[in-house]
Each structure stands twice: as structure tokens, then as C-alpha cells.
Amino acid sequence: MLPGTVCALVVGGGPAGLSAATWLGRYRRPTLVVDAGEQRNLAADRAHGLLGRDPTTPRQLLADARAGLAQYPHVRLHQGCVTALRRDEDGAFRAEVDGREVAAERVVLTTGVRDRLPDLDGLAAHYGTDVHHCPACDGPTAQDRAVVVLGSGAQLPGYAAELLDWAAPVRLVLDPAEPGIDDGQRAALADHGVEVLEGTAVALTGEPGDLRGVRLADGRTVPAAKVFFSYAHLPAGDLARQLGCALDHEGLITVDGFQLTSVDGVYAAGDVTPGLQLVPIAVGEGAAAGVACATSLRGRPALGGAPAPGPPTRRFAPG
């Protein structure tokens, strides 16, 4: 049974959301975490760069975080979806969670983003093993191996060049039907030894874990042990728009140093905010959001049987 009222509603149960919920639990704020179970990196074989546990698997990371929340009795996890979110005139937030209304004094948005995937035969079997979207996360696994980069847009040359820290050779395949790159970008890639090919990628060759190449529509096969792609990543859902949060040019939620959005009482963390999209950063931003959210409630009446917060002092963040 969902609670009718909580101090904080965390929307999203990935690394950022579970980190925020952990700190809300430590401050003994009654918290509901609603998780749709659609974390961006679930297809990946490994999550890298986490202090003290490098590598781990995305599923193990989430399982351990959820288990850790069990020590905080005021935090509740719910598998489901928040489909609507609004703020009443009295300042309370009202969320529709799987058809039931839940009221909250604060909201933390950690809904993440969704990647546009390449249209490739065999992608489902290879994605997360030898096809990746994040150079910083999985680039080291391509050390001294041939890489093909797919994608579109002005950011693509920089994305391809980042892989030169590990891979060799790096080849960029540009689909004529996609937004391309200019002559200056082509020249810069050539200076760095990145070959640019024209063609439409249609299929992967080889078995998962033993990728051999990318087949193009004209019959050519470009050798590759790894494929990286960058087309677009869009915020998941429109809850931030429903609340009127300020967004940047990519539709990501702008926040201040305490992860507070332009809407008082609404915090955001993780990939749905601007900046590097890495699990360790999502965890840190989630912690900042959780602490700021919890301390903004200091002096407010406790809900759900939680101990009363201490008297208001200097607030950690506005709210």
C-alpha cells in the first residue's frame, strides 16, 4: 500500500535516486522512492570507476543500494511510475503514482535520460558487451582494439577523439541521412588519425563478446572489436516540464550547487541534469540533493511516525 503523504518523493531509483533516498533516510525524513526500473545502464556488463568497487555490475550496484536502504525505516521503495506531478496553492506536491495520489513536501527528480539507439541487426545481443554509448565508462575496455563510432551531430568528432585515449584504430562511419560534420571537423579528425567513412551501418558481425565488424548497406564491412555510438539522449518523462522547472537547450534540468531546481522544493540529480553523465557523479549529486532536501525540512512537522526534526537553524539550502 502506497503512503498517502510523505516528506520527500524521489522519482527514479537509479544510482542518483537511491543515493538521495539514503541521505533522506539518514535524516529520518519519511521518503517514497518510485522506480520504473528502466535505468540507462542495465544492459551494460560492468559499471566502472566506482571507488572501492571497480568494476561491479549495474544490477549488483542497485541491489546493494536497495539492501542498504533497509536500515532506514522511513524510506519506502515502490516499483511503478509517476505519471503526473503538480504543486498545489498550499505548496504541497501531488503525484499520481500508478493511479493513486501521493502528497509530498519535497520532490527529488532522478529520472535519467533515454539514448537513441542505432538501428543495427544484432544490437540487442551486443549492446553492453561490445557496443557502448559512454567512452569514459567503457573506453578502457577497447584498449589497442579497433573501434567504429556511429552517430550524428556536431558533438561527434569530439566523441570519437575521446576514444583515442585507448583504442586504435578509430573509424567514424557517417550516415548520409544523418546530420553531418563540417570540413574543419573532418580535417581535425584526419590530423588525429581518425578515418571518416560514408555509409549506412545495418548490422553487426561476429558473436557477442567477439565482435568482428560493422556491415554497411553497400555490402562493405568495417572491422571493429568495439562499437560506440552517439546520436541523442533525451530526458525520460516530462515531470520537470509539468512542474515548470527551468531546462537547458538539451531539455536537461538546471540546478544550483545544492541540486535545487528553479522550482522551490524540487531537487534534481543524475543524468537528467547538465554535466558529465557517470555513475559516480550521479551518486554524488544524489547525495547532495538528499542532504539539501532533508535539511530544507528542518523544523517542519514530521510525518508518518518519524521523530520530529530539530529546530530550524541555518538551512543547508533554500526550500
Domain parsing of the chain, residue ranges: 5-114+233-296, 117-230
The Cα–Cα gap between 253 and 272 comes to 6
Q: Is the pLDDT of residue 315 over 60?
A: no
pTM above 0.75, yes or no: yes
Q: Is the pLDDT of residue 304 over 90?
A: no
- Where residue 206 falls among pLDDT bands split at 50, 70, 90? very high
Residue pair 276/136 in contact by the 8 Å Cβ criterion: yes
pLDDT exceeding 70 applies to what percent of the chain?
Answer: 95
Q: Is the pLDDT of residue 311 over 90?
A: no
Residue pair 246/48 in contact by the 8 Å Cβ criterion: no
Q: Can you say whether the dihedral through the CA atoms of 110, 105, 243, 296 is positive or negative?
A: negative
What mean pLDDT is predicted for residues 282-303? 91
What mean pLDDT is predicted for residues 40-64? 94
pLDDT tens figures, 6-47: 999 999 999 999 999 999 999 999 999 999 999 999 999 999
pLDDT at 82: 98
**Averaged pLDDT score across all residues of the chain:** 94
Q: Please give the backbone phi and psi of residue 123, each rounded to the nearest 5 degrees, phi first.
A: -60, -45
Residue 47 bridge partners (DSSP)? 56
Q: Do 5-114+233-296 and 117-230 have matching folds?
A: yes
**Other Cβ atoms within 10 Å of 109 Cβ, number:** 33
- Give 284: exposed, middle or buried? Use CB within 10 Å, 0-12, 13-18, 19+: middle
Q: Name the CATH superfamily housing domain 5-114+233-296.
A: FAD/NAD(P)-binding domain (3.50.50.60)
Task: Give the containing element (helix H, strand E) for 18.
Answer: helix 15-26
Q: Is the pLDDT of residue 145 over 50?
A: yes
pLDDT at 319: 44
- Where residue 299 falls among pLDDT bands split at 50, 70, 90? confident
Q: Please give the backbone phi and psi of residue 280, each rounded to the nearest 5 degrees, phi first.
A: -60, -35
Dihedral (Cα; 300, 11, 112, 251), 10-degree rounding: -70
Fold for the domain defined by 117-230: FAD/NAD(P)-binding domain (3.50.50)
Q: Is the pLDDT of residue 85 over 90?
A: yes
What mean pLDDT is predicted for residues 136-154? 96
DSSP state of 139: G
Q: Is the pLDDT of residue 158 over 60?
A: yes
